[in-house]
Chain A
Amino acid sequence: MMLQLRRTLALLKGETGNQRARTGSSLPFLDSANNSSGLVLQSQSTDVYQNLALEDWIDAHVDLQQRGILLLWRNRPAVVIGRHQNPWSECNLPAMRKMGIALARRRSGGGTVFHDHGNLNLTFFASKKAYDRKRNLKVVTEALRRLRPNLDIRATDRFDILLNGHYKISGTASRLSRRSSYHHCTLLHSADRSALSTVLRPSCPGILSNATPSIPSPVANLIDHAPSLAWEELLEALVQQYNTEFGLSSVFTLVDPSNECVFPGVGNISTELRSWDWTFGRTPKFRVETLLELRDNHLPARCSAQLQMEVKGGQVESCRLDVPAGWLPLWLSRQLSDVLVGERFCPHRAAAAVTAMLRAEKGQFQSRLQNICEAVLAMMG
């Protein structure tokens, strides 16, 4: 099967068997008359970074001018944010760390979604000319209507799919490159809704930015309204409808996105997608304005400090800490601000800087300084 896949992919890439730099050329015998066979791939991996890397790889390496590809995939629990979003305002990072839920930033636009084994992802690859989200969503809505005619399934103008006019069961995002495009959407079959609501909450209060915000909607799983709908049944119906809609007789293949022989270079792409620089460092510039609660066991009254930070590329560009003068001397709060600037907006990186600073400070203000440090770090997620 792997050999068949390699041959199929080789045909699509236009390789003639010689190792040469890719030209995106198509072979002479792949003319439009022979356009009846499609390609449906299903990923064997549940690693969100590997699957996103596979999407990227197909987009960059496969000649989509003559035919499209449908990729079906699902992930272990992960939160996936859109290309231009802010992870600190979209999801609860400390809760995710505790629950072992990964965070990934995809290359397509749109909002934040929660993926787990009960959520099916579909990616429609096509040339830029053939990019048509409405038509792709029709594949999903028609397949569902055929499976369960009693359910009210409709696609909206915003390319969501609603169940019974109210519950969102699918969200969409897409990416357009120089000559190719892909449109992917989620489909909630049997996702863990309590985990979803726990993690899709902001980590950091007081964020002001122009990052794409997510629009929360009430969601539902397909099995809530169609308990007998099995996963395999759903996949089969979708593949059949894809063939019907695009007039194809597709070759169905399982793929391993970590296989460097079939997808050379895919490992480098998934390494990049895993990196802090991509996931957090690509956050559009934002500002934090919040109040930190200050506590001292010796004092009955509580007071608060005002924190203002500018973060660019995930790094603290400027920091201003206004602490009541009686609580901490000005030069100490300035020193703390100073040590945070130039570091990543990350509680671990800041912890290292702050504990190094605390070593040099002894005396009466040490415990208060420690308290305010902890408050700042808690704010960073």
Chain B
Amino acid sequence: CCTSCCGPVVQFKLSDIGEGIMEVTVKEWYVKEGDKVSQFDSICEVQSDKASVTITSRYDGVIKKLYYDVDATALVGKPLVDIETESKEDVVETPAMAREEHTHQEIKGHKTQATPAVRRLAIENNIKLSEVVGTGKDGRILKEDIMNFLAKQTGAILPPAPVQEIQTPGPSPPSAAAPAGRPTSPSTLVKAPPPRTTPVFTGKDVTEPVKGFHKAMVKTMTAALKIPHFGYCDEVDLSRLVALRTELKPIAESRGVKLSYMPFFIKVRSKSMCSRGSPWWQASHNIGLAMDTSQGLLVPNVKNVQLLSVFEIAQELNRLQALGTAGQLGTAHLSGGTFTLSNIGSIGGTYAKPVILPPEVAIGALGKIQVLPRFGAGNQVVRAHIMNVSWSADHRVIDGATMCRFSNLWREYLENPAAMVLDLK
């Protein structure tokens, strides 16, 4: 406790809340012992007979003692908290039962909010409070506002005042449109150039224990990297698919579905997996999509892709994306996947080294689609839509040649979408 702020400790009593109510239940504290509070800051929430009441501080200072625990019954007129005020002048002797109003100064019909210390400073310097713009909560005038006003008047060079964060709820549109760096009120920043000082780094490293979902992901990733991965990458010319999608997009939209490239990638993946005897032959092709959500990386899957058309896959993707954004994916969506595709290219990147999600045996990462020059028929340079794919596979189960054959089949379907029509079932 510094000597400059050790003022008297004041008992802040719970004031009358009307209707003759004599006791309330303390429901939530907004402060704890040792916290600094300003006048008008919220201290706690109390409840009485279906009325919820916010109790605000009458003083500036430091909370020294809370008289009640949460759920305790507090009595009106009795002490609620002890506040150590900044100086003697800040103490306003008002009986708890009489008024809930705070110090005001009425000048020409304007009510201006300021603590007694600030008012005294204004009077001593012949400043009219109505001429000072308050930058505190609810337009309250703070000591800094007086100092800035003085500096402007006398042209004195003062140490730059910290920019006050204007806490009024809901700024009016013109000032809300101002970019963050530009001050909205010129009196909050002194225009004199500040003296050059070496920056002092006051940041601290914060260590946070890994909990919940992230802890589970740590375990998953650890298990994943025990799988011997091998990678295989390739380049796919999507020019024909891009044209096809452009044609089909409005038709899908007219049916209420947003059509991206993913439904094609997923359907083709399933078609390439169809041959029995391949290491990942499974009856159900539940293809997972890596989804970046506010919680982290979630992988919901589209069930039984082998039974769905491209349009139906697109529909299901839309639904899963909506659920993912709303944070409403459940265990049924998130489990049972047999293969995963990550469309990391939608954010950025070309080649990747994806990590297999156990208990699956392979994964694919799709880079961004770029327009690049390639040699076409007759050795002409043509515009091609090129996407890179990076597969990772479990080398205990899948060998390089198998991976290559599967990737080629996948690539051929995507480079010649018309060929898919032949194999439509």
Which residues of A does B touch, CB under 8 Å?
19-28, 57, 60-61, 82-84, 97, 107-111, 128-129, 131-133, 158-159, 172-179, 181, 210, 212, 260-261, 263-266, 268-269, 276, 284-285, 316, 338-343, 346-349, 351-360, 362, 370, 373-374, 377
Contacts and interface: CB of A to CB of B under 8 A. Distances in A.
Nearest to B56: A178
Interface stretch (B154-162, B240-248, B326-334): B326-334
A360 B212 contact: no
B50 A21 contact: no
A374 B215 CA distance: 19
Contacts, number: 200
A354 B298 CA distance: 12
Nearest to B54: A177
29 contacts: A19-B172, A21-B135, A24-B111, A24-B113, A25-B109, A26-B111, A83-B45, A83-B47, A84-B45, A97-B328, A108-B50, A131-B18, A131-B19, A133-B19, A178-B40, A264-B170, A264-B173, A265-B170, A284-B27, A342-B209, A346-B327, A351-B334, A352-B296, A355-B334, A356-B219, A360-B358, A370-B335, A374-B331, A377-B330
A265 B296 CA distance: 30
B219 A357 contact: yes
A172 B48 CA distance: 12
A282 B222 CA distance: 35
Given A21-B166, A23-B134, A261 B100 contact: no
B11 interface: no
A363 to B, nearest CB: 10
B331 A377 contact: yes
Given A342-B211, A352-B295, A178 B111 contact: no
Q: Which of B48, B51, B56, B113 has the most CB of A within 10 A?
A: B51
B357 A359 contact: yes
Contacts of B174: 19
Given A22-B168, A84-B52, A109-B47, A353 B216 contact: yes
Nearest to B331: A351
B217 interface: yes
Given A178-B100, A179-B101, A264-B176, 4 more contacts: A20-B139, A108-B52, A284-B28, A349-B295
Given A264-B171, A265-B170, A83 B27 contact: yes
B104 to A, nearest CB: 9
Given A284-B70, A357-B216, A175 B170 contact: no
Given A24-B138, A25-B110, A351-B329, A359 B170 contact: no
B298 A352 contact: yes
B139 A356 contact: no
A23 B110 contact: yes
B212 A176 contact: no
Contacts of A349: 212-213, 295, 327
Interface of B: 17-19, 27-28, 40, 45, 47-54, 56, 70-71, 100-102, 109-113, 133-135, 138-139, 166, 168-176, 209, 211-213, 215-217, 219-220, 222-223, 295-296, 298, 327-331, 334-335, 357-359
A352 B219 CA distance: 13
B213 A356 contact: yes
A268 B51 contact: no
A269 B45 CA distance: 19
Contacts of A61: 169-170
A25 B217 contact: no
B28 to A, nearest CB: 7
B52 A109 contact: yes
A349 B296 CA distance: 10
Contacts of A356: 213, 216-217, 219-220
B18 A260 contact: no
Q: A27, A174, A265, A348 — which one has the most chain B CB atoms within 10 A of its CB?
A: A348
A301 B101 CA distance: 68
Given A21-B139, A24-B111, A265-B170, A175 B53 contact: yes
A86 to B, nearest CB: 12
B223 A359 contact: yes
Nearest to A344: B212
Of all A-B residue pairs in the complex, the 3 with the closest CB atoms, nearest first, are A265-B170, A342-B211, A343-B212
